[in-house]
Amino acid sequence: MATYKEIKGITVQTLDSDPVVYEGSWSSGGAMNTARASGSSSSAGGADSGLVAGGYSTTHTAITEIYNGTAWTEVNDLNTAREQIIGGAGTTTAALAFGGKAPPGVSALTELWNGSSWSEVNDLNNATKENPGTGTSTAAIRAGGTAPGGNVYNYVETWDGTSWTETTEINQTRGAGAITGITTAALLVGGSNNNPTRYANVELWNGSSWTEKADINTATTLLGETGTSTDSIAFGGLNPSVTTVTEAFNGTSWSPVNSMSTARYGMGNSGAAGTSAVAGGGYTTANVANTEEWSFPSSPILVEGMLFLSGGTTLKGFGTAAGIPAATWASGGDLNSVRAGLSGSGKSQTEALLFGGKNPGGIALTESYNGTSFTEQADLNTARGEGSGSPFGTQTEALMVGGNPPSSPAFVNTESYNGSAWTEVNDLNTGKTLQGGAGTYTSNLAFGGNQNPSTRLAKTESWDGTSWTEVADLNEGRKEVNGWGTSNTSAIMAGGQPTPPSSYGTKTETWNGSSWTEVGDLNAGSVQRTGIGATINQGLNVGGYATGLTVNVEFWNGSSWTEINNISTARAFAGGAGAAVNGIIAGGETSTAKVATTEEFTVDATLSTVTVS
């Protein structure tokens, strides 16, 4: 009889225990000795190696600290105290600190660290603060920066171990971005001008020129970044409130990953690649000293399609069943207010924000969810329900669009949330309610819906962070739709009620930034469902109403819908937030009343016993 290796050409692994999911996360490290923000940091190293010099505590400082993976140690100070340096390069034994603000002016000073002390070397050609830098003590690059008076530069300079040389400028003039890599392959991310406009732009340096790459999903300034030009993470920053968002770059595109525990900007950071990093200090509502370390599991990891023996003679396999999650719904913490028709923001169940609703009148309440319970936040300015939100937003960066109270025309009102208050911004061109929404609070899409009970809108409007613009219509007008997506250029719409009103739509359409395309239909037509998702390639369509309230859940894999495990309580008009593998629904209405209950959907990596012959 042939062996497995003879048939397949490979052997089966034998492991002491089952592998773990390969998922990066932040964990707590040792606190800095001096709480501060906007210092210089080493760019190379990992979660067990970092250096932060200068910054602002109660005033600009020269203090230097080194991290060994457990604790920070104070070493010799910079020669010149300064803040808003941001730019830095090297390691804990050989580093550069350059530029910054040394009151009363902006500095061109460069200092070299030899592992025990700092010495002044040749200055930058252009005095700047908030100038991101990366590389080594003998080969570094700095890009952009902020000038005296707040103007921003597109200057780029390289360091050869002796002096700085001006080279090809960046395409997007900006300061306060983040950069990682080396002098022949670096990645510049985010930043801002003095308006301040936050940028999502990403540029790749190849040693001679800059090329635009895929944008980060959340435009951010004063963020951290570590890694290489093809494997990096960007984290924290301002947009415009302080954020915990972390995004990973694989050389082609950015994806949201596990967030930091503490929202902050202007932190010191170091990392050898997107797999290992340290972030220390920074500013939230005050300077902080705490440290977070980013890492991936070091033990054997699960890889789709793998077969292995674990702790015995049983053959096991790991896969994702063509991307279809096999998970169940579990009860979560109740809303503080019973209501239906909520709107939502947030990419996971531990950082969800739900707002608005009706019971039966309009409700202004906003509540955040931490994975266990809801906490009341600032109210909307206009009480309303059945509008759309910002599915790819956060708890501190959200948009509430349209909606209505009972017996009133659909609203044109739009409100933007910064983590502490809602602000009315520019109105929709066409009032709408019961519409779908996608994107963030700076890049949003609102589609479908109605103005009054008899209308079925096909209109789509795109939000650029300032105003709404009408763009291409849906292929079919409908109300009570749901949808999600990352921005105003990538969205999905599902279900809803077309004409005649007695029908229950199954149609699905995807948006590419210029037009809608019909794709695979839902298996069961219904209305008033809840959509949960991040990207247009993965999401959930939950509950709703057909001939009666339903518990049905369908999963979208980018091309087709598959029915999966039901929710516990049949409901319609529930609020939703999170991703298809880590989301929640909350509130809504059952056949007897409106409710406050929450259900959580979490997909775990699953192993199964494999029988072979």
Q: Decide if 345 contacts 390 (C-beta within 8 A).
A: yes
Contacts 24+ apart (CB under 8 A), 76-81: 76/116, 76/117, 76/118, 77/118, 78/53, 78/54, 78/111, 78/118, 79/111, 79/118, 79/119, 79/120, 80/107, 80/109, 80/111, 80/120, 81/54
Low-confidence ranges of the chain (pLDDT < 50): 321-322
pLDDT digits (tens, 9 = 90+) for 145-161: 998 778 899 999 999 99
Q: Is the distance from CB of 447 to CB of 460 less than 8 angstroms?
A: yes
Q: For residue 493, give the nearest of 541, 461, 450, 452 by alpha carbon.
A: 541
The three-state secondary structure class of 224 is: strand
Residues 6+ apart with CB under 8 A from 388: 343, 401, 402, 403, 435, 436, 437, 446, 449
Helix (H) or strand (E) holding 7: helix 4-8
Answer left, alpha or beta for residue 81, where phi above 0 means left and psi between -120 and 50 means alpha: beta
Q: Give the CA distances from residue 349 to residues 159, 258, 524, 555, 600, in Å, rounded to whole numbers and listed in that order.
A: 45, 12, 26, 17, 7
Coil/strand/helix, residue 6: helix
Q: Are strands 110-113 and 95-98 parallel, antiparallel or unpaired?
A: antiparallel
- Give the DSSP letter string of 398-447: EEEE--B-TTSPPP--EEEE-SS-EEEEPPPSS--BS-EEEE-SSSEEEE
33: left (phi over 0), alpha (psi -120 to 50) or beta: alpha
The backbone torsions φ and ψ at residue 8, rounded to the nearest 5 degrees and listed phi first, read: -100, -15
Is residue 586 a contact partner of residue 332, using CB atoms and an 8 Å limit?
A: yes
Distance CA 69, CA 46 (A): 8
Q: Of how many residues is the chain composed?
A: 613
- 423 — phi, psi (to 5°)? -125, 130
Q: Are strands 13-15 and 307-310 parallel, antiparallel or unpaired?
A: parallel
Please return the burial class of 48, using the count of CB atoms within 10 Å of its CB with bins 0-12, 13-18 and 19+: middle
SS3 percent helix, strand, coil of the chain, rounded to 5, is 0, 40, 55
Which domains can be identified in the chain, with CATH numbers?
4-19+301-319 (no CATH), 25-295 (2.120.10.80), 322-609 (2.120.10.80)
- 296 phi-psi bin (left φ>0, alpha ψ -120 to 50, beta other): beta
Which residues, in sequence order, are bridge partners of residue 461? 446, 470
Nearest partner of 177 among 166, 159, 193, 195, judged by Cα: 193
Give yes or no for a contact between 209 and 224, defined as CB atoms under 8 angstroms apart: no
- What is the spatial distance between Cα 601 and Cα 566, in angstroms, rounded to a whole number? 10
Please give the pLDDT value at position 321.
44
Terminal C-alpha separation, the chain:
10
* Phi/psi at 475 (5° precision): -70, -20
Phi, psi for residue 6 in degrees, rounded to 5? -65, -35
Give pLDDT tens digits for 11-58.
Answer: 677 777 888 777 788 899 999 999 999 988 887 766 678 999 999 999
Using CA atoms, how far apart are residues 600 and 331, in angstroms rounded to an integer? 6
Scanning the structure block, which residue is given the tokens 């997107």? Answer: 274
168 within 8 A of 211, measured Cβ to Cβ: no
User: Computed from CA positions of residues 345, 338, 597, 504, in that sequence, does the dihedral angle turn out positive or negative?
Assistant: negative
Mean pLDDT of the chain: 89
What tokens appear for 422 in the block?
């809602």
Contact, 212 vs 222, CB < 8 A? no
